[in-house]
Amino acid sequence: MEHLDDRERQDVWQTIQDALLHDHIDQFRAEFLELHPYDQAKIFQEVADDVRLQIYTYLSPEEVADVMEHIDFEEIEPFFTEMDPRFAAQVFAEMSTDDAVDILNELDKNKVASFLTIMDDDAADEIKDLLHYEEKTAGSIMTTEFVVVKTGMTIREAMLHLRKEAPDAETIYYTYVIDEDKRLVGVISLRDLIISEEDWYISDVMSERVVSVPVGEDQEEIARMMRDYDFLALPVVDFQDHLLGIITVDDIMDVMEEEASDDYSKLAGISDVDSPDENAFASAKKRLPWLVILLFLGSLTASLIGRFENTLDQVAILAIFIPLIAGMAGNTGTQALAVAVRGIATGEIDKQGKFKMIMREAGTGLITGVSCGIIITVIVYFWQNNFYLGLLVGLSIMATLIVATLAGSLVPLVMHRFNIDPAVASGPFITTINDIISILIYFGMATAFMNLLI
């Protein structure tokens, strides 16, 4: 199966359309099932509703399940709503348990209960076991479709067991070893199973240095572990080391995309990234809460400027430099914020130390502040022919850049310390805070040195 570009997909789709139009089921199945499930999903999302209903009748629940697993979970609800409920329940039963749970978490609770009632009892029980775990934890993204062997098995017995269970397993590159009490005690790779002698025991070949994660572990921490150790899968255990499930690398790729989108939306000051298909009301509903908060903070900035009305009356030219100083403070604060949030998200700050990062940002703020301060002092001096005004603006720029850089790096660290998502210290939020700081510094210094300016 080769990946198709948009033009190739359109050519294939034209052939498939002709088969659908003339009810040539065999031709449709031959063309459609030859495609990679990703390309099937792209076609599935582009066709009209009535055509998709026709396709359901030509495919088995298992084949539709392969397609559904390649559609974003947030966009999948309409497809299951339009299916016949019994057919939809069969599709869920054929999907990987973790994927089925992710999709069901996006659906209305009443629909979920309906699907579970219709579904095969064994499949429904597996899904129910995962549905009760807290969202974004190891339990919510793990799959229960894995292969285990026991310590007392021989290699021959383990291979026979693996051949039997492999068709229903998410992955077989790692086989986990449990004892009689179902506790995780080791791991053995497929390579070791193949090259070992048949009469050797699993306990003699397995590695006891198995890395696992607790069922309540945050998914972002798991993503970091899999990235650092290059794992293809990670076992999930309870507090007594009983093996509950595994998390595979494809699940973690989805997690990394989800976390990146989440952090990006928070840095932008919205509750979630807007979907291209979303209407204006839904987009406004996500953005409005932050904008209202920022509106009140902006009002505080305006109020502060009002308190320095006498200073402005005496030296009116001070007003033209307000956007410059506030803008520079906001820009440098956002830069420091991005560095801090990225460091926390990737775990780099824990490795290099928070103090080291703060000192680096303080040094960066000092260098950029002094440099920009000297430049703007010279510019204002020649522009307005007033050395003290240039010095005031230069010193204000220098002080605000230093303070704004420190604020941009410290605020996320403080939030992280109190278990608050540091991305909440969004760009608009930190910009508004730095506006307030810069106004206080600028007009405070102007008021203090008013005699030199008049």
* 184/174 Cα distance (integer angstroms): 13
SS3 state of residue 88: helix
Q: Tell me the mean pLDDT in the region 368-395.
A: 89
- pLDDT, one tens digit per residue, over 18-56 is 888 888 888 888 888 888 888 888 888 888 888 888 888
- pLDDT, one tens digit per residue, over 161-208 is 999 988 888 888 889 999 988 899 999 988 999 999 999 999 999 999
Q: Is the pLDDT of residue 421 over 90?
A: no
Task: Write down the pLDDT at residue 178.
Answer: 92
Q: What is the DSSP string of 425-446?
A: S-HHHHHHHHHHHHHHHHHHHH
Phi first, then psi, for residue 135 (nearest 5°) are: -60, 145
What pLDDT band is residue 441 in, cutting at 50, 70 and 90? confident
Q: Where in the chain is the domain with CATH 3.10.580.10?
A: 148-249
Pair of tokens at residue 154: 């021989």
Which CATH superfamily groups domain 148-249? CBS-domain (3.10.580.10)
SS3 state of residue 421: coil
Strand partners, 235: 246
**How many other β-carbons are positioned within 10 Å of the β-carbon of residue 11?**
10
For domain 280-453, give the fold: Tetracycline Repressor; domain 2 (1.10.357)
Which CATH superfamily groups domain 6-136? MgtE N-terminal domain-like (1.25.60.10)
Q: Where in the chain is the domain with CATH 1.25.60.10?
A: 6-136
Task: Write down the pLDDT at residue 3.
Answer: 58
Q: Where in the chain is the domain with CATH 1.10.357.20?
A: 280-453
Average pLDDT across the chain, whole number: 82
- pLDDT, one tens digit per residue, over 141-168 is 888 888 899 998 999 999 999 999 888 8
Task: Write down the pLDDT at residue 341.
Answer: 75
**How many other β-carbons are positioned within 10 Å of the β-carbon of residue 118?**
15
* 172/189 Cα distance (integer angstroms): 8
Q: Tell me the mean pLDDT in the region 291-304.
A: 73
Determine contact, residues 433/296, Cβ cutoff 8 Å.
Answer: no
% of the chain surpassing 90 pLDDT: 15
Q: Is the pLDDT of residue 435 over 90?
A: no
Buried b (16+ CB within 10 A) or exposed e, 330-352: bbbbbbbbbbbbbbbbeeebeee
| Amino acid symbol at 167 | P
- pLDDT, one tens digit per residue, over 244-293 is 889 988 888 877 766 665 655 555 555 555 455 556 676 666 667 666 77
0.85 surpassed by pTM: no
- pLDDT, one tens digit per residue, over 46-82 is 888 888 888 889 999 999 999 898 887 777 888 888 8
Task: Write down the pLDDT at residue 278.
Answer: 57
Task: Write down the pLDDT at residue 74.
Answer: 72
CA-nearest of 224, 93, 98, 101 to 171 is: 98
Task: Write down the pLDDT at residue 150.
Answer: 92
Task: Write down the pLDDT at residue 188.
Answer: 92
What pLDDT band is residue 454 in, cutting at 50, 70 and 90? low
**How many other β-carbons are positioned within 10 Å of the β-carbon of residue 210?**
19
Task: Write down the pLDDT at residue 378.
Answer: 93
